[in-house]
Amino acid sequence: MSQVETALGPIDVNDLGMCLMHEHIVVASWSMRQNYNDYYDAETQIPKAVAALKRAADRGVKTIVDLTPINLGRDVHSIRRVAEASGVNVVVATGFYWTEEPQMHTWDVKKLASYMVRDIREGILGTGIKAGIIKCATDHPGVDAFNKKLLQASATAHRETGVPISTHTTVANTSARDQVATFREFGVDLGRVVIGHLGDSTDIDYLQQILDSGCFIGMDRFGLEAMLPTDDRVQTVAKLCAKGYAGQMVISHDSCSFQDFFDGSYIEKFAPNWCYEHVPRDVLPALEAAGVSARDVNTMMVENPKRIFSRAGAY
């Protein structure tokens, strides 16, 4: 049986259980952390993350996938401590965010991919923790030349290691389509790809185009009401389930225990349900009330993550 790497070592895919496929524990700039000692206080923030994951675990969550890429503040030491104390499996990511960093413009695809392959095969920062998924991203620039290079590097690492890919997109443009086209161009197994943040869209035709490529789609920002209300997200998932697409969707929050994108008071006021327990506590009952069967819920929360991680080894 296939195994997936986690912060505490490899586990059988059958032990993933209910899995939130797009979350974060810590998103915090390393440049700021290295220059300001009080920017991120691990001794304060790690217990908060542990408590938050324990609340999710009490509602059935067994695994989260931490999709924090290398250049968005991935913190493998904090991740390991949270996994140890919470009892929740945490799959760690490798890969690069869409943000344009000067040095990355001069690196070629092979060099970019080599860092990901090292994380997957050798582990991260000498900890022995191996990445179990590749994160890549495009945002408002779309798949421009630089971001296409990052996608190609992710495809290269994916082909070499067999590790799946999960992405960040924005519905403000058609970058999901372009991501699919790019992955197809560079030989990615589209059945091992999750195109992320498509839960921000209610455009069924657009979503079906991505689904019909063979990819999974991430309905993964539940709790971010300012981007799309929960009821709209629920109805979109229900419509796609009615069309037979439950086998290609995963559900999550894109939540962070600590993040430096927004002030904490903003989250408390405008996104109080943007937390790891919102899906099992509120969203899954809402989906069932909208007519989604218990079987389809299990498919999205348990079986699909298992399928995504089930193929191991290089191509």
Judge whether 147 and 116 are in contact, CB under 8 Å.
Answer: no
pLDDT at residue 266 in the model: 77
- Mark 100-111 as b/e (b = at least 16 C-beta within 10 Å): eeeebeebebee
pLDDT at residue 314 in the model: 45
285-to-52, 200, 312 alpha-carbon distances in Å: 20, 20, 34
As given in the structure block, the two tokens for residue 22 are 């797009």
Q: What is the pTM of this model?
A: 0.96
126-185 pLDDT per residue, tens: 999 999 999 999 988 889 999 999 999 999 999 999 999 999 999 989 899 999 999 999
Residue matched to tokens 């490798």: 94
Residue matched to tokens 């969203």: 283
Half-sphere exposure of 256 (CA within 13 A, CB side): 19
311's CB contacts (< 8 A; 6+ apart) are: 2, 162, 189, 192
In the chain, what are the domains? 3-309 (3.20.20.140)
pLDDT at residue 305 in the model: 98
pLDDT at residue 267 in the model: 81
260-to-29, 39, 186 alpha-carbon distances in Å: 8, 9, 34
Run of H or E including 297: helix 294-298
Alpha carbon 202 to chain centroid, angstroms: 20
As given in the structure block, the two tokens for residue 280 are 């099992």
pLDDT at residue 1 in the model: 59
1-25 pLDDT per residue, tens: 599 999 999 999 999 999 999 999 9
As given in the structure block, the two tokens for residue 266 are 């903003």
Spans of the chain below 50 pLDDT: 313-315
Please measure the distance between the N-terminal and C-terminal CA atoms of the chain and give it in whole angstroms.
17
Eight-class DSSP state of 10: -
Residue type, 178: D
